Chains A and B, each alone.
Chain A
């Protein structure tokens, strides 16, 4: 996986100078995602809760890392997009892990990661089963970690079925971020996604199962909101099943008080052995997902930077260093050393100040442009908010929409080449071109002549002109050059789009 922020300079006898240098070299990106580009119109106490959580605040995901510990393997229902038997170290999708941990092992792992990864700000439990159903293990893990590292933000992810009976304990443990996966509010839609649930000592199927699930999800959501726990709702977009319906879901979630809505594309590779994968149910194309997100984003706070990470992921969003911290590699005993994380936080405060200045400059530059069409721009970034990755090394592209109004984050698009053994360069390039659907230009640190030509043939311009610039500054610079020079240049850029 791509390493977004190299940690080599952050380990050992660290200095804030070295940390800053590292951030300057590398970098991820910005805009209208989750809590968009800073506090904005958000109440101060809410911003305080989300500003360092990479999943809840887009800006935080440039700087902070999360880790999941896979302590909760048991689940109380079956989803058609999940196959719990599948495990591949190269695969990134929820519900997948390489190694299950006991609570005490998980706590040891969290301490080891906190000592090695100063960016760590969040511990989440996301299964691989259901954190609320497999509650004893979830709770024991949170208690052990809370004692070892009191300032770590705790969060969990659940299907919601067993959530209502855990709400009191969730609030008491100080878990103030909960994600519920809600794919429907109509049981008839749910019946096409969930074959069965296990509830009150029996198995329920069909519409009845989804009716119960829906009631439990909404009850749990409202109970959390009453207790001021921030709730993120994840919805899997399944074309032909719930894609149009998700507009109603989004409205219902907002009405119920959810903080954030995250629509994710269905992952349905037949090789994963899921029901949807085996029956040929397709996932949405990037532009279909964007169209839905744009409609949902009109009235609600939307997360657009989700990487659909594994239940044992470690690192900045978009990278997974889980394989560095498997059980066999952990020290038998490790004391938590808060120095690294504390120093890193000071660095981030300064970096955020510089980022804000760069953003304001970019906005001012864009305001000088007269009415021009909006464009999608892709960026190859290794993290830290800069255009700093070689095109050929990119496993994902960050996509932004730019117009005279500003630069807004649209989403991260993964290049489907995770099983590299089975793909050649030509296939990887095809994957990149598919991921860049609808994009006018891709800004990179460097790109070879051959892929540049192939991209041009697909109508996508590749440019090194803004290498190592801040992302917003580079995008604004490209846009200004494209739309304020001669009309000839303007037209050729339009053609490329």
Chain B
């Protein structure tokens, strides 16, 4: 279980990067990427995945 970012829609604002409690999101190349191994979908931290909750573009930060 992990989230992923749809590159073609991402505005590269980086809000997801500093909301992620696991530091699972990094800027790589020209976009942000979720590391599936460290992503927990925020379970145990928050009620909802933070990256999806803060993302300004609908359907861009979604379950992998």
Query: Cα distance A5–B32 when bound, in Å?
Result: 41
Shortest beta-carbon distance from A135 to chain B in Å: 9
Assess whether B11 is in contact with A85, with CB atoms less than 8 Å apart. yes
The A interface, classified by DSSP as helix, strand, loop or mixed, is loop
8 A Cβ contacts from A121-156 to B = 129, 133-134, 136
Contact flags (1/0) for B9-20 with A, using CB distance below 8 Å?
Answer: 001111100110
Shortest beta-carbon distance from A368 to chain B in Å: 58
Given A84-B13, A201-B46, does the pair A136, B18 have CB atoms closer than 8 Å?
A: yes
Assess whether B11 is in contact with A73, with CB atoms less than 8 Å apart. yes
Assess whether A198 is in contact with B13, with CB atoms less than 8 Å apart. no
Assess whether B57 is in contact with A85, with CB atoms less than 8 Å apart. yes
The segment from A10-18, A60-68, A74-82, A294-302 found at the interface with B is A74-82
**CB of A203 within 8 A of chain B?**
yes
Contact flags (1/0) for A82-104 with B, using CB distance below 8 Å?
Answer: 00110000000000000010000
Which residues on A sit within 8 Å (CB–CB) of B11?
A: 73, 84-85
Nearest residue in B to A85 (C-beta to C-beta)?
B11
Query: Cα distance A202–B42 when bound, in Å?
Result: 12
Contact flags (1/0) for A51-75 with B, using CB distance below 8 Å?
Answer: 0000000000000000000000111
Assess whether A76 is in contact with B54, with CB atoms less than 8 Å apart. yes
Assess whether A203 is in contact with B48, with CB atoms less than 8 Å apart. yes
Given A74-B18, A75-B56, A78-B56, does the pair A202, B13 have CB atoms closer than 8 Å?
A: no
**CB of B36 within 8 A of chain A?**
no
Which residues on B sit within 8 Å (CB–CB) of A136?
A: 18
Query: Cα distance A85–B48 when bound, in Å?
Result: 25
8 A Cβ contacts from A254-271 to B = none
Assess whether B13 is in contact with A73, with CB atoms less than 8 Å apart. yes
Given A84-B56, A198-B53, A198-B54, does the pair A73, B48 have CB atoms closer than 8 Å?
A: no
> Closest 10 interchain pairs by CB?
A74-B15, A73-B13, A203-B53, A198-B54, A74-B13, A201-B46, A84-B11, A74-B14, A129-B13, A85-B11
A-B contact pairs, 10 of them (CB 8 A): A73-B12, A73-B13, A75-B13, A76-B15, A100-B12, A129-B15, A134-B14, A198-B53, A201-B47, A201-B50
Chain A residues with CB under 8 Å of chain B are: 73-76, 78, 84-85, 100, 129, 133-134, 136, 198, 201-203
Contacts A75-B13, A84-B11, A202-B48 aside, 11 further interface pairs with beta carbons under 8 A come to: A74-B13, A74-B14, A74-B54, A100-B12, A198-B19, A198-B53, A201-B50, A202-B46, A202-B47, A202-B53, A203-B53
